[in-house]
Amino acid sequence: MNRPLYRIRQYLATRKSKLSYLEIDFVRKYLNHQEQILFFRMKGFDQRHGITVANKCLEKTLEVNWINKTQMARVALLHDIGKSSADIGVNYRVLYVLLGAIAKGKLLKSLAKKNSRIALKRKLFVLDNHGLLGAKMLMDVGCTDNEVLQVVAKHHDTPEVGESKLLPFLREIDATL
C-alpha cells in the first residue's frame, strides 16, 4: 500500500482505542507529573502511538548498552506532545499526510501559517512544527534534560553529526508506525 494511505489507515485503526491500566502505569513510570499532564492532553490515538513507539524502542535497544533506557522511553512517549497545541482530529491528520505527499511538501509549507485567521492553516502549522512546539512545552514545565529536549525538537529533522544517539532509534521506529 502506498505510504500516505497506509498512514491514514493507521490513524483510523487506532482512533477509538483506550489505554489499559498497564499502559497508564507504563506512562507513570517514566514521566513526572507535569509531563504526564502533557502526555494525557494528547488525543487518544497519539497517546497509544507514543506507548507503542516507546515499547518498540525499548525492545530495539534492549541489548544496546550505550543507550539510556529511561531516556529512550521518555523521548518516545513525549516525541509528539507538540501536536496537542491545537485540537487536530483525524480529518486534519489525513489532509496533512496527503498535502505532505504533494510536490515534496512545498504546498504544505506554503499553507501552514502560525498566526493565520484560518484554522486549517494554523493546524497545519502545528502538525508541521510539532517537534519544536513539543520541546518548548517541555521547557515550560521545567524539563532541563537537554538530550530529551533535543530529541523531541528534532525527531523529524534530517540526521546530523553529533546529534543524540537516541534519535536514529526513535526515527526508525516512528517511521514504521
Whichever of 47 and 143 has its CB closer to Fe ion, that residue is 47
List binders of Fe ion among 62-121 (CB under 5 A).
80
C-beta of 80: minimal distance to Fe ion in Å? 4
Does position 46 interact with Fe ion (CB under 5 A)? The reply is no
Q: What are the cell numbers at 59? A: 525492545
Q: Are 79 and 53 in contact (CB under 8 A)?
A: yes
Neighbours of 131 (CB within 10 A): 21
Does position 174 interact with Fe ion (CB under 5 A)? The reply is yes
C-beta of 118: minimal distance to Fe ion in Å? 23
Type of residue at 94: V
CA distance 72 to 69: 5
Whichever of 35 and 80 has its CB closer to Fe ion, that residue is 80
Whichever of 143 and 173 has its CB closer to Fe ion, that residue is 173
Q: Are 166 and 38 in contact (CB under 8 A)?
A: no
Residue ranges that bind Fe ion, judged by CB under 5 A: 80, 174
